[in-house]
Structure 1
């Protein structure tokens, strides 16, 4: 492999799009929590920590999952030979160190969230992934906590709590659907994921119920009067996309889990719009 192919492989290890999205979610959490110009450095540090930690978590996951990926995802960097397993391991360590350096500049609560998340990322594949539903809950927590982390960076983690809950529950549903999609490789490795233990359709129904709770939670900012019509006009389509994705997952899990991700992003935009409208005094 050439140097360019190796660099490309390392970028792919981080799931670059998802990693950047995680940084955007942290910024969103800070924005919704009401950051000011004086918080700019803290927000930048939080975003950098999130990007590094997410990239590191994805890389270490590929390191531990290299045998499963040879079955489920043979196009990923390690199975196709773009990056060696050892290179992936050291790359993930370097990114984890970058996350630590950025995080230690933040308030104590933000550091505490970062420590918990870093430990969860490292332990995920070896301890949690193969336990029915537990690995899914961990990934859901990690996604939701990006918003709490952004809020904590500016001193108000609860300012983004509803969005964190919505994102965490929607991610839990998406992870269950992804386990249905990956069932062949997971069975080969002897993992005990939720669809392997309870069956594919019961697992998908669990995901649908969890998603329903997330959709109910999405109404709270409007019902409480925190956000107005700008929020409602975007969160309702986001909810509709996620409901449609949950239904689709029963026939096409791969397409269903992708559509849930799009709905989650639109829901995050709804919170940004709601917060922005409240800043300029627009209500509904």
Structure 2
């Protein structure tokens, strides 16, 4: 196997698109919380910590999920032989180390969030993933916390609280849809995910209800007068996209979870636009 093929396998372990996107979400949290140019160092450190931690979590997830992935995701690096399982484990350890070093320059509250998230990432696949609904909630909380982490980096941990809630709820819906998509491999492995325990239809209806609550949360900044029409002009299409994806999940969960992800990023952009055009001094 060529060196380039192996290097590509290690990069794929991190899900680079997801890792970089998580770093962008951390920046979004800092920006929405009111980051100033003087906060550049801590914001960059928080972004790097998030990218490293997300990559590490994805790599260790592939390590623990290698048997399931032979059924659900045979093209991933370990099942296809680009990276061995021990290599994936130690690569993950190195990435976690990078996250720890990056977080050392951050305020105490941000470090506390980072520590909790690192522990949750390490424990997710081994302890939480197979518990009905619990693994979904953990992933949702981790996603939402990226915004709190960005705010905490500049000393405003609650500065992006509404965005945190919206992202966590939308992620919970997406995780439920993904479990429906992966039900075959999860059942083969003996996992007790939500769709396996309560059924696919019941799980999807629960996801739909959660998403409706998330859409309601997205209206809060406009109703409170913190964000104006520019925010509303972007968040409404984002909400519509996520609601349409939720309806689509009953027939095509694979396509639906991708559309949900796109809707979430569009909603995050709405918050950036809302903060950029908000009156000076307003804070979520």
| TM bracket, shorter-chain basis | over 0.9
Q: Which residue of 1 aligns with 2:188?
A: 188
Distance in 1 separating the partners of 2:109 and 2:213: 27
Distance in 1 separating the partners of 2:179 and 2:107: 36
> Could you list the per-position Cα deviations for residues 87-109 of structure 1 after superposition, in whole angstroms to 9, with x for gaps in the alignment?
10111000000000011110000
**Stretches of structure 2 lacking an aligned partner (at least 5 in a row):** none
Matches within 5 A, 1:12-51: 12-51=12-51
Distance in 1 separating the partners of 2:2 and 2:122: 29
> Could you list the per-position Cα deviations for residues 189-238 of structure 1 after superposition, in whole angstroms to 9, with x for gaps in the alignment?
11000000000000000100000100000000000001000100000000
Q: Which residue of 1 aligns with 2:137?
A: 137
> Could you list the per-position Cα deviations for residues 86-140 of structure 1 after superposition, in whole angstroms to 9, with x for gaps in the alignment?
1101110000000000111100000000000000000000110000000000000
Matches within 5 A, 1:45-194: 45-194=45-194
> Could you list the per-position Cα deviations for residues 163-184 of structure 1 after superposition, in whole angstroms to 9, with x for gaps in the alignment?
0000000000000000000001
Distance in 1 separating the partners of 2:280 and 2:122: 42
Q: Could you state the TM-score of these two structures normalised by the residue count of structure 1?
A: 0.98
Distance in 2 separating the partners of 1:244 and 1:258: 12
Distance in 2 separating the partners of 1:127 and 1:65: 12
Q: Is the 8 A contact 2:57 2:92 kept in 1?
A: yes
> Could you list the per-position Cα deviations for residues 21-53 of structure 1 after superposition, in whole angstroms to 9, with x for gaps in the alignment?
000000000000001121110001000000000
**Stretches of structure 1 lacking an aligned partner (at least 5 in a row):** none
1:265: how far off? 0.3
Q: Which residue of 2 aligns with 1:269?
A: 269
Q: Could you state the TM-score of these two structures normalised by the residue count of structure 2?
A: 0.98
Q: Which residue of 1 aligns with 2:246?
A: 246
Q: Which residue of 2 aligns with 1:278?
A: 278
Runs of 4+ in structure 1 off by over 6 angstroms are none
Q: Is the 8 A contact 2:226 2:279 kept in 1?
A: no
Q: Which residue of 1 aligns with 2:225?
A: 225
Aligned length: 281
Q: Is the 8 A contact 2:181 2:254 kept in 1?
A: yes
> Could you list the per-position Cα deviations for residues 138-178 of structure 1 after superposition, in whole angstroms to 9, with x for gaps in the alignment?
00000000000000000001110000000000000000000
Q: Cα RMSD (Å) of the superposition? A: 0.9
1:280: how far off? 7.3
1:7: how far off? 0.7
Distance in 1 separating the partners of 2:280 and 2:4: 47
Distance in 1 separating the partners of 2:237 and 2:38: 34
